[in-house]
Amino acid sequence: MFVRLILILAILYIAYRIGKYIFQLSDEGIQKNRREITGEDLVKDPQCGTYVPKSSSIKATIGGEDHFFCSEDCRNKYREANKNKH
């Protein structure tokens, strides 16, 4: 009787561990999907022509228009180039 109780507890523990493992895997899958969705939201850097995720880009309003840049360096260069034109 006691041995059977230990066996049931062991099975429950293993089931718990497997469930937790599967849950972690599905959670990673959700996070990966979310990353792919946000990855699709790309903006073009007008200075170097690179596509950057909007969330990690640098936004600047130049000449009344919103532009997105991959780095502050590109933003500064574009701002300077735009300044010289006008």
Nearer CB in complex with Zn ion: 27/72: 72
Residue 44 is classified by DSSP as E
Q: Binding marks (x or -) toward Zn ion, 35..64, rule CB under 5 A?
A: ----------x-xx-x--------------
Question: What is the bridge-based pairing of β-strands 51-53 and 42-44?
Answer: antiparallel
Among 43, 74, 75, 78, binds Zn ion (CB under 5 A): 74
Residue 49, sorted as left (phi over 0), alpha (psi -120 to 50) or beta, turns out to be left
Chain residues binding Zn ion by CB under 5 A are 45, 47-48, 50, 70, 74
